[in-house]
Amino acid sequence: KFGGIPKNYIVSRTGLAIPATLIDDKGSLDDLQELLDPNAEVYGFEESHLYLEPKKLEGIILEQFYEKNKAVVISSLDRDFRGVDFKITSNLMVHATKIDKLYGWCDIGSCNEAGMLSQRIVDGKPAHYNDDVILVGASEAYEVRCIRHHEVPGKPSYNSR
């Protein structure tokens, strides 16, 4: 989208780019400690809910925050397409000194309600509750939905949990 920007930058949807260190979020994270610049004052982790080793990432983040006095900024969804919390996000939020929850607008017609949920669409229909939570390389689409328009076939009622 924004040509000429090296891959070792994080780029916002508006084109703002800042230097970053690319890490393998699909791997073991064993080399992550070595990749972190000890002179940095702030560490940022993008889409922490997608890391394959969330407990290890959580430990690294908390070590940087509590033991090394680093500022840590995390972007993450708080819930999956079913509306169920991502544990790493829930676990890290209790340690946060500040939380900014951002919302889109519901994608249904002229709803105009805050869209706080992700709606996964597969073959033109809402994904089933029992579908895999994370799909690598899948061709599904996501929409922003408000609570009223969020649909998850097969989702148990809150009263039956």
Residue positions annotated with a catalytic role: 47
The conformation of residue 66, written as its DSSP 8-state character, comes to: I
Contact assessment for residue 152 and residue 161, using Cβ atoms and an 8 Å cutoff: no
Question: Rounded to an integer, what distance in angstroms lies between the CA atom of residue 81 and that of residue 134?
Answer: 9
* Residue 68: how many other CB atoms lie within 10 Å: 11
Residue 89: name the closest of 107, 110, 75 by CA. 75
